[in-house]
Structure 1
Amino acid sequence: MAEHEHGSMDYSEQQKMFDGFMSFVTKSVIAIIVLLVLMAIFAT
């Protein structure tokens, strides 16, 4: 079995995926909040 050296893994792809996910979540939450505010304003 190969020896594992702590901290030697290249995680740049994981970092890009996480950054994309966080961007998606942030934009989704903002869109939902705007939608809820508009529903509260224009509710009949």
Structure 2
Amino acid sequence: MAEHKHGTMDISVQEKTFDGFIKFTIRTVYVILALVILMAVFNA
């Protein structure tokens, strides 16, 4: 088995994926909040 040294793995792809997921989630929450506010204002 290969020796593994803690902290040597390249995780740049995982970090970019996680950042994209967080951005997508935040934008989705903003859209949902905007829709809820618009529904409350226009009493839909």
For normalisation by structure 2, the TM-score amounts to: 0.96
Gaps of 5+ in 1: none
Q: Which digits, 9 at most, give the CA deviation of each residue in 1:1-21, with x for residues without a partner?
A: 001100000000000000000
* Aligned match of 1:21: 21
Matched residues, number: 44
CA RMSD of aligned residues (A): 0.8
Amino-acid identity (%): 52
Q: Separation in 1 of the partners of 2:20 and 2:27? A: 11
Runs of 4+ in 1 over 3 A off after TM superposition: none
Provide structure 2 residue ranges, at least 5 long, that are not aligned to the other structure: none
